[in-house]
Every structure is written in C-alpha cells, then in structure tokens.
Amino acid sequence: MDDIPIYLLSVILFLLIGIAGFFSGSETSMMALNRYRLRHLANDGHKGATLAATLLKHPDRLLGLILFGNNIVQFYAASLGVVITVRLMGDIGYVVGPVILTFIFLIFAEAAPKTVAAFHPEWIAFPASYVLKPLSVVCYPFVWTINKIANGLLVMLRFKLDEQQDTNLSREELRTVVSEATKLLPSRHREMLLGILDLEQVMVEDIMAPRNEITGIDISEDLTEIINSLGQSSHTRLPLYRENLDDIVGVIHARRISRLLKDPGELTKSDLEEIAVEPYFAPLGTPLSTQLLNFQRAKKRLGFVVDEYGTIQGLITLEDILEEIVGEFTTDAQMYHVDILEQGDGSFMIDGAATIREINRQLHWSLPTGGPKTLNGLILDRLEDIPEPGTSLRIDDFTMEIIQVIDNAVKSVRVNLLKREE
C-alpha cells in the first residue's frame, strides 16, 4: 500500500464513495417506487420497470444484496481513507481521518443520493435494476446466507415474514388518490369517479322518492279520471295500483299508454292491467352499487323500495343512481333542483321533502347526513317536536326559518349559510 501513489489511492477512494452512493440511492429509489405505476410500466414492456418489479418480488433479497454491497464498499473505503490521512498527516490521521470520512460519506454516499432517489425514484431505480439484477445472481450465495441468518433471528422474535403487507388501496385511500389527481384528471371526471366510489356507502333510501311523492294510477277510480290522469302525466313510467300503493298491480310505460289513448272510448281497465309490467322491488338498506347491478340483471329501470314488512317506502330509478355519478340530467348546469329556490338576499327556500344529499350536492353544503334523509326529518330530529311556522333554529353553520308546515310536516324552510370569519 505504501508503494501506491496517494493520488491513485484518492481516485480509488472517490470511486468507492461513488459506488456506495449508488447502493444507497438504489435502496431508497426501489422502496419509493409507486407499485401501481411500476406494474403499469412493466405491463407496457418497459425493460427497467420489468427488472425492478422482478427484484421487488423478493424485497428481503433485494435489501440483502444492496446492504451487502454497500457495507463491503464502505468498509474498504473507510480503511483506504484512514491510510490516506495517515500518510498525509502522520499518526494524527487515525483520529482526524474517521471524522473527515464521516462527513464525506454522509454527504456524497448517503444524503445526496438518497434525496435524489426519494424525489425521483424512477430516475435511479430503473437504470440501477440493470446492475442489481446480474449482481443478485453473482452474489446469491452470500445474500442467501445473510438472509437466512437475519430471517432466522426475526422468526425467533416472532415476526411473520410470510405475510406480506397488503398493498391494495382501500376505498378511502383510492378516494384520496382521485381527489389529488388534479393535474391528471379534469375536475368533471374526478367528480364522476368519486361518485362511483361513493355508491358503496349510499343506500337506496338516501336517494329514493318517498312514498308520499309517488305519482301513480289508482285502477279502482273512475275510468274518466284515470284517462285524465294518464293524459296529464309527465312521467315515462307510472305505477298502477288498487286503492293504495301496497296493492301494486304493475308499472305502465308512457309509450304503451299513448297508443291506448288514441282511442280513449275503447280503453278499459283490463287494457291497463294487460300492459302493466310486473313491479320490481328493492329492499331498504341496499347499497347503490348493488342496486345498479340488480337493475342491470333484472333489465329494470324502476323499483319500489320496501321495508322488512313488505311495505312500499319509496321509489328509485336507474336515472337516480346515474345522477349520483354524473350529476343532474339538465340542460342548464346553473339550475338548482326544483325543491331549492335561491332568494334575492342570498338565502335559499327549500322544500322540506328535499333530501339532505340533494341539497348538499346542489349547493356544495355540508348538512349532516348520518341521520334523517330529508330536511324535514333533520329539523324534526333536532327540535324533537313539530314546529310552528316562524320557528328558527341553527344546525352547524346553517340557520333555518320554518315558513310552512302542512300535515305535521315541514313544507318549506328558509336556509342561510353563516359565513365564518377567517
């Protein structure tokens, strides 16, 4: 060693520091790779991504290889550095050398390469894979021995190495990914994806038309009244029942009704019953994601929501579910729901039967959705009584004034959103 010039030893030292930096950066970049993007690139035939994905199938072997190479290089570099400082400074080099080498290693072999690798993992990991893959074959006996000893110690400490951490994203994590993908997805597409994710948590009773709002045809009425109701109806599909909704006969389509109404004098109640399609029922508590599939399997677009006793509680349509994903089917994006009317003073006149979800979605509010489904239900739940017109209350950041009460239910409410001071 004494015969080798100092400049040559210095070149070898800096070369070893560079190799140590390569191993340090490789370790950080491999662990920082986005696994989902890695799979995508590998499936597209990216060679570096394919090699990286292969190495990451056995992370214990990959870490063993990187640490094995890094420690050998650093030990040699430390020894060589001490030799150089001793030849330059004499015996004091044994004291000063390790201090100087510590700073050099921390900066050039640890901090700098790991920082770059953390911010740009693909820049380091993919090229490094071309080196690490053949090294894993050459150094396999050493790495295998190291891993066996290390894994044996971990097993003794009751670590379960055969159970890899689940890398699948939960619904909430996937929602966060979609919400933060501002540069990759247009806002409209993000809202649709978030709507799809929310279908699992929203139930049919959250968006159904309540029983008292269902418009139908009572077959027990006079035929003249039935014909007038059919002619004035604006709905595509109408429930057909006897006396009350619990005795449902079926659902009739407007297209078939229009044919019968061409000659109303020949129309009979039997004709209506013949064209009525068998009703479809959906139980309360069914998630919208499940109901969407059920509509698809049954080839239906409308269903009656029933409780555990078979009593009809409301009506849900395929369009209702689709609107949860894509929003209202309206020609004017600025129009509010017919139950929500904006006032000149900035407040909103809202029908008590309007659902909390609809109000929140239309006005971008945050009324509580964990309890009652309608604004009327929310007010009655908070007051624990049927209010008189003129009653006011505050719910979170909203003030509400009861305008009209009909049949023991709040019909109309004036709602104001309080402005918070920053």
pLDDT in tens, 325-351: 887 665 444 444 568 898 988 899 999
Rg of the Cα atoms in the chain: 36
CATH architecture of 340-417: 2-Layer Sandwich (3.30)
pLDDT tops 50 at residue 115:
yes
pLDDT for residue 389 is more than 60: yes
* 398 has a pLDDT exceeding 90: yes
Describe the crossing of helices 59-89 and 6-32 by its angle, rounded to 10 degrees. Answer: 160
Q: Name the segment(s) of the chain with CATH classification 3.30.465.10.
A: 340-417
* Residue 282 or residue 209, greater confidence: 282
Residue 404 in contact with residue 412, Cβ under 8 Å?
A: yes
Q: For helices 187-198 and 318-326, give the axis angle rounded to 10 degrees.
A: 130
Instruction: Calculate mean pLDDT across residues 22-37.
Output: 89
Query: Nearest to residue 34, comparing CAs of 59, 54, 53?
Result: 53
**What is the reported pLDDT for 145?**
87
Q: What does the longest C-alpha to C-alpha distance in the chain come to?
A: 120
- For 47, the 3-state DSSP assignment is helix
User: What pTM did the predictor assign?
Assistant: 0.63
* pLDDT score, position 8: 83
Q: How far is CA 132 from CA 139, 320, 386, 395, in A?
A: 10, 55, 74, 61
Q: Where in the chain is the domain with CATH 3.10.580.10?
A: 204-326
Lowest mean pLDDT among 68-72, 161-165, 254-258, 401-405: 161-165
What CATH number does the domain located at 204-326 have?
A: 3.10.580.10
Mean pLDDT of the chain: 85
252-280: per-residue pLDDT in tens?
A: 987 777 777 777 667 788 888 888 999 99
As a whole number of angstroms, the distance between CA 243 and CA 157 comes to 73
Q: Mean pLDDT across the stretch 9-15? A: 87
Q: What is the pLDDT of residue 421?
A: 43
Instruction: Report residue 7 as tokens.
Output: 């400049």
**pLDDT, position 161:** 62
Query: Which two structure tokens, joined as six digits, stand for 383?
Result: 């007051």
17 pLDDT higher than 70: yes
Angle at 409 between CA 408 and CA 410, to 5 degrees: 130
